[in-house]
Chain A
Amino acid sequence: MNTIYFLVQQTMFFSIPLLIVALGGMFSERSGVVNIALEGIMIVGAFSGILFINTFQAALPGQPILLLAILVAALSGMLISLTHAYASVNMKANQVISGTAINMFAPAFAIYVARMLRTVQQIPFMNQFRIASVPVLGQIPVVGDLFFTNTYLTTYLGFIILVLSWFVLYNTRFGLRLRSCGEHPQAADSVGINVYQIRYAGVLISGALAGIGGLVFVIPTSTNFNATVSGYGFLALAVLIFGQWKPSRILVAAFFFGLMKTIAAAYSGIPFLATLGVPNDVYKMIPYLTTLVVLAFTSKTSQAPRAAGVPYDKGSR
Chain B
Amino acid sequence: MKFSWKAYVRSDAFSSFMSSLMAIIVGLFIGFLVLLVSNPSQAVRGFGAILFGGLTDMKNLGQVFYFATPIIMTGLSFGFANKTGLFNIGAAGQFIVGAYAAVYVGVKWTSLPGHAHWMVALMAALLAGALWGLVPGILKAYFNVNEVIACIMMNYIGMYTVNYMVVKTVFDSLRNQSLRVAATAVIPKAGLDKLFITGNSPSSVNAGIFIAILAGIVIYVVLDKTRFGYELKACGYNRDAARYAGINEKRSIVLSMAIAGALAGLGGALLYLAGAGKSIEVVDVLAIEGFNGIPVALLGLSHPLGILLSGIFVAYLTVGGFNMQLYNFVPQVIEIIIAVIIYFSAFALLLKGFIQAYLKKKDRPLEEAKALAADAGSTEKGGGVE
Contact = CB atoms under 8 A, between A and B. Distances in A.
Given A238-B152, A285-B157, A104 B338 contact: yes
A111 interface: yes
B153 A292 contact: yes
Interface string B347-372: 10110000000000000000000000
A123 to B, nearest CB: 14
Contact of A112 (B153, B298, B330, B345): B330
Interface in A246-297: 279, 281-282, 284-285, 288-289, 291-292, 295-297
A7 B334 CA distance: 42
A91 B149 contact: no
Contacts of A292: 135, 139, 145, 150, 153-154, 157
B339 A105 contact: yes
Contacts of A288: 153-154, 156-157, 160
B148 A296 contact: no
A112 B149 contact: no
Contacts, number: 136
B144 interface: yes
Say what secondary structure dominates the interface of chain A.
helix
Interface in B291-308: 291, 294-295, 298
Contacts of A304: 146
B157 A105 contact: no
Interface of B: 34, 38, 87, 89, 135, 139, 143-146, 148-150, 152-157, 160-161, 163-164, 284-286, 291, 294-295, 298, 330, 332-333, 335-336, 338-340, 342-343, 345-347, 349-350
A70 B343 CA distance: 27
Contacts of B154: 288, 292
A36 interface: yes
A153 to B, nearest CB: 28
Contact of B347 (A87, A100, A289): A87
Interface stretch (A137-145, A199-207, A213-221, A229-237): A229-237
A172 interface: no
B150 A101 contact: no
Nearest to A111: B332
Contacts of B349: 92-94
Contact of B152 (A92, A234, A282, A296): A234
A174 interface: no
Given A102-B339, A291-B153, A108 B332 contact: yes
Nearest to A234: B152
B82 to A, nearest CB: 10
Nearest to B344: A101
Nearest to A296: B143
A241 B148 CA distance: 12
A295 B145 contact: yes
Nearest to B37: A116
Nearest to A242: B149
Interface of A: 36, 83, 87, 91-94, 96-98, 100-105, 107-109, 111-112, 115-116, 228, 230-231, 234, 237-238, 241, 279, 281-282, 284-285, 288-289, 291-292, 295-297, 299-300, 302, 304
B160 A284 contact: yes
Contacts of A36: 89, 148, 152
A42 to B, nearest CB: 15
Contacts of A230: 284
A264 to B, nearest CB: 9
B284 to A, nearest CB: 7
A295 B143 contact: yes
Contact of A281 (B34, B149, B161): B161
16 contacts: A91-B350, A96-B87, A97-B342, A104-B291, A105-B340, A111-B330, A111-B332, A230-B284, A231-B286, A234-B155, A282-B160, A289-B153, A291-B149, A295-B153, A296-B139, A299-B145
A231 B294 CA distance: 18
Contacts of A100: 89, 291, 294, 342
A276 to B, nearest CB: 16
A289 B139 CA distance: 13
Given A91-B346, A96-B89, A116-B38, A104 B330 contact: no
B149 A285 contact: no
A299 B143 contact: yes
Nearest to A264: B160
Nearest to A99: B346
